Amino acid sequence: MFVSEALGLSRHASKTLEEKNILREAFIPHHFFSDIIEALRFDRKFGDIEEGTVVAKTINGVRTVRGFPKIRRALTLYPSIRKHFDREVAIEEKMNGYNIRIAKLGKNLYAFTRRGYICPYTTEKVRKKEEMVDFFRDFSNFVLCCEAVGEESPFVPKKIYGIRELDFFVFDVREIETSNPLKIDEKLRLCEEYGIKHVPFFGIYESRNAHETVRELICRLGRDGREGVVMKDPEMKIEPLKYTTSETNAGDLSYAFRFFNEYGKDFMFSRIVREGFQSFEFAENEEEFRKRCLRLGMSILRPMIESIKDVSSGEWVSEKIKLRFDDIEVLELFLRHLRKMGVDFRVRSIVKREKGAVLYFERIMRSTTDKIKAHLEGQPW
């Protein structure tokens, strides 16, 4: 098996990999993916191989794109920063989008989602970025780890950045085969040199007193509706930590309770716990505490009631999404991609333009819809 050879797996590991059905197809064969002959992704973690790792047999040989390691979360700032980072800590904004890795396989660029799917829509957008094409002409042995953000996002549509379509912001540059990251200053230098956008960088601080700076940033970012920060070792030798704003926690809860039967209880519970620790560490006065409680309560009840109203009116609980494509074939390929991912969706309309087309579709939250309908008809919990 070419995957085992590429990763140097033992015969026993290869057999286990096959028995546990961990490898899945990473793409739909199509001339849009002309450089790839076969590509398999790790559907879950296997030993030290991250979930989302892709091994691709290409026209230029076998390439491995390692999955992106999960970032642990700090629940408290003061003790976590001092304990985790030795001397200095670099602070970057954690943008609210979906995580992608961009790599060059053969002649073209490809965009990999966190789970290792090669996304046609995201890939089409990436290939239009001349600065990235230039970068990979010189550095085909690197992977750009980016946050994909904007209003026309198939996974996390957001208006807060003022980006109408979709754009990409680098947060890491890593070696393609090993996933070893470049240092912070090297990453920033390369992004500046090639004109590639990167996530906002707030600076490097002494770890012993950085918590006050991070707290101020969190309050400011929260007021702007932003997600939070990622704290990193400037040398990238220590694993990073992330920390989110109260407004983002509330936004996540609002989304989860709108589609409450699609999301696990852990997703909801963890965000409520974050609010408790943040409220305590920020030593809120009574008024600040009341605002947090109101924000938390509204984020839970309002979206759930909206879903109940939708179902009671005979509608599906769904998320409406608009995407713009340059090529109608890529649009059709993306719809096949959604089906492969197991997404339950309904196309509302496809508007053809002089160049390309606009897709309007809705992701159906069937489990939440069915659950609400059953209870409205008298079924007990």
Determine the pLDDT at residue 264: 80
8 Å CB contact between 319 and 362: yes
What does the block give as tokens for 104?
């060059």
Element (H, E) at 308: helix 286-312
**What is the dihedral angle through the alpha carbons of 212, 217, 223, 225, rounded to the nearest 10 degrees?**
-140
Cβ distance 43 to 18 under 8 Å?
no
pTM: 0.95
- How many CB atoms within 10 Å of residue 293? 12
Report yes or no: 42 and 53 within 8 Å, Cβ to Cβ. yes
Domains of the chain plus CATH, in order, are: 2-67+96-199 (3.30.470.30), 72-91+205-230+237-244 (3.30.1490.70), 247-312 (1.20.58.2250), 318-376 (3.30.70)
How far, in Å, CA of 138 to CA of 174, rounded?
A: 14
Question: In the beta sheet, which residues pair with residue 244?
Answer: 228
Give the number of other Cβ atoms within 10 Å of residue 232's Cβ: 26
Spatial distance between the Cα atoms of 250 and 258, rounded to a whole number of angstroms? 12
Q: H-helix or E-strand containing 257?
A: helix 246-258
How far the first Cα of the chain sits from its last, in Å, is: 48
Strand 241-244 and strand 72-73: pairing? parallel
Widest distance between CA atoms in the chain: 64
Return per-residue pLDDT of the chain as tens, 381 residues. Answer: 788 888 998 888 888 888 899 999 999 999 999 999 999 999 999 999 999 999 999 999 999 999 998 999 999 999 999 999 999 999 999 999 999 999 999 999 999 999 999 999 999 999 999 999 999 999 999 999 999 999 999 999 999 999 999 999 999 999 998 899 999 999 999 999 999 999 999 999 999 999 999 999 999 999 999 999 999 999 999 999 999 999 999 999 999 999 999 998 888 999 999 999 999 999 999 999 999 999 999 999 999 999 999 999 999 999 999 999 999 999 999 999 999 999 999 999 999 998 899 999 999 999 999 999 999 999 999
Task: Report the C-alpha gap between 232 and 32 in whole angstroms.
Answer: 37
The amino acid that residue 12 corresponds to is H
Place of tokens 């059709």: 332
> What single string gives the DSSP state of each residue in 140-209?
TTEEEEEEEESSS-SS----TT--SS-EEEEEEEEETTT-PBPPHHHHHHHHHHHT--B--EEEEEETTS
Q: Indicate if the alpha-carbon torsion angle 199, 202, 207, 212 is positive or negative.
A: negative
User: How far apart are alpha carbons 310 and 319 in whole angstroms?
Assistant: 12
Entry field: residues in the chain = 381
Secondary structure (3-state) at 269: helix
CA distance 7 to 361: 39
CA dist., res. 208 & res. 83, Å (int)? 9
**Torsion (CA) 369, 339, 99, 33 in degrees, nearest 10:** -170
* Whole-number Å distance between alpha carbons of 20 and 50: 15
Model pLDDT, residue 12: 86
